[in-house]
Structure 1
Amino acid sequence: MSGDRLTRPITRRRVLAMLAALYASPDIALADPLGPVTKLPLPRYASLKTDRVNLREGPSKDHPTKWVYERAGLPVEITAEFEIWRRVRDSEGVEGWVLHSLLSGRRTALVTPNKTGENSSIYVRASESADLAATLQSRVIVNIRNCDGAWCLIDGDGFKGYIQQVKLWGVYPNEKID
C-alpha cells in the first residue's frame, strides 16, 4: 500500500508542513524548550564567572580550544546542555562549549556591542526626558538589576541608571527581569 498515509516516508517537506500546522493552531501553546540537565529554558543568558574561560569545539576537554575569553562578567547565551557542558554563543555569534562551573546566572549585558565608537546615554529615570546619569561607550559590560520590557536599570563601576533595553546584548527583546 504505497499510497497509504501510514507507510509514506517522512520527508523534510512533510515535517515542515506539520510544524507549520502546529504553529498555526491557536489552541496549542508551544513552550520554550527546557535544558535536559538543568530544566531551565533554552536559550537563556548567563555570564562568564572568571577572567579565563576556554571555549571548546565540543563538550569535553578532549576537544580543542577555539577561543579563550579573558573578561569575567561577559554575557553569553546558553543554547544547549550536555552533562557538565553548556554550548554558548557570544555577542559576535561565535559558538562553542564551556564547563558549566565557569558560568554564572548573574545577568550582565554589553552596551551597543555592534556599534563601535557609539556612546549610549544612561538616565536617572526610565525616560529620555530624564536627567543624564552617565554616558557609556560601546561594549561596556553592565550589571542588569531589572528590566520592564522597554528599559533596564543597570549599574557598574561608578554609574547607575536606566538604558533602553534595545541597546543591550544580554537581554531578550521585551524580556522582563525582576
Structure 2
Amino acid sequence: MGKAFWGLLTIMLVALAQGSAPALSQTSTIGQSGFPVPRFVSLKSDRVNVRVGPSREHRIEWTFVRAGLPVEIVQEFDNWRRIRDWEGAEGWVFHSLLTGRRTGLVTPWEAGGTTPLRADARSDAAILAELSPNVLVDVDSCEGGWCSVSARGYSGWIDQTRLFGVYPDETFD
C-alpha cells in the first residue's frame, strides 16, 4: 500500500488513541511526555517545520520563521507534538523544536490599536507603554486576570485576555 494510505492510517490511529484535539475550554490530561495536554509552549528555533503527520516522512505543511512564538500543544504521539497557532492552524512538530518558555503575542487577532502595559496588575495603574498587535512578550507569571510580562526593555502587567499564549484565568509563577 502507498505512503499516503499509511500516513492516513497513522493519523487515524493517533486520533483514536489520543482523542481529537481538545478545545481551549476543555480540562487538560497528562500526555505521554508527563506534561498536561493541552498546554502552551514556544518555538525554540527561527525555523520550525510543521508537518501534516507525526513523522519526518509526512510532508511539510508550512514553516515558522520566528523563534519564541507561542503555540499550544493539543496532542502528543511519541516524540511528536501536534500544535495549534493563534490562527487555529494545526500540524505536527518534533518535540525538540519546542521549549517550555512561556511567551505571548499581544492581540494578534486585532488589526490596529494598542494594549497598555501597566505598572501594576490593575486597570487604573499607570501605563508604562502601549504595545501594538503581534508584539512578542515573555510571560513571567499570571494571576487574577493579569500577567507579568517583559518586552523590548519594558516590564509590567497586561490584561490576560489580551494575550495569545495563556489560558483565560490561568495562574502560574
1:65 aligned residue: 60
1:175 aligns to 2:170 (yes or no): yes
Answer with 1 or 2: which has the greater Rg.
1
Count of aligned pairs = 148
State the AA in 2 paired with 1:34. Answer: I
Match of 2:149 among 150, 154, 159: 154
Alpha-carbon RMSD: 1.2
Q: How far, CA to CA, are the matches of 2:123 and 2:38 in structure 1?
A: 31
State the AA in 1 paired with 2:124. Answer: S
Q: What runs of 5+ residues in structure 2 fail to find an aligned partner?
A: 1-25
Identity within the alignment, %: 49
Q: What do residues 125-161 of structure 1 show as CA deviations (whole Å, max 9, x unaligned)?
A: 1112111111100011100011103100100122111
Q: How far, CA to CA, are the matches of 1:47 and 1:118 in structure 2?
A: 25
State the AA in 1 paired with 2:35. Answer: L
1:76 aligned residue: 71
State the AA in 1 paired with 2:109. Answer: N
Q: What runs of 5+ residues in structure 1 fail to find an aligned partner?
A: 1-29
Alignment of 1:1-178 (within 5 A): 32-36=28-32, 38-178=33-173
Q: How far, CA to CA, are the matches of 2:128 and 2:39 in structure 1?
A: 29
Deviation at 1:31, TM superposition (A): 6.3
Does the CA-based 8 Å contact 1:117-1:137 persist in structure 2? yes
1:25 aligned residue: none
1:13 aligned residue: none
Q: What do residues 100-136 of structure 1 show as CA deviations (whole Å, max 9, x unaligned)?
A: 0000000001101101212100001111211111110
State the AA in 2 paired with 1:86. Answer: R
TM-score (normalizing by structure 2): 0.83
TM-score (normalizing by structure 1): 0.80
Does the CA-based 8 Å contact 1:149-1:173 persist in structure 2? no
Structure 1 residues 172 and 149, CA gap change in structure 2 (3 angstroms): farther
Q: How far, CA to CA, are the matches of 1:118 and 1:60 in structure 2?
A: 40
Q: How far, CA to CA, are the matches of 1:138 and 1:58 in structure 2?
A: 31
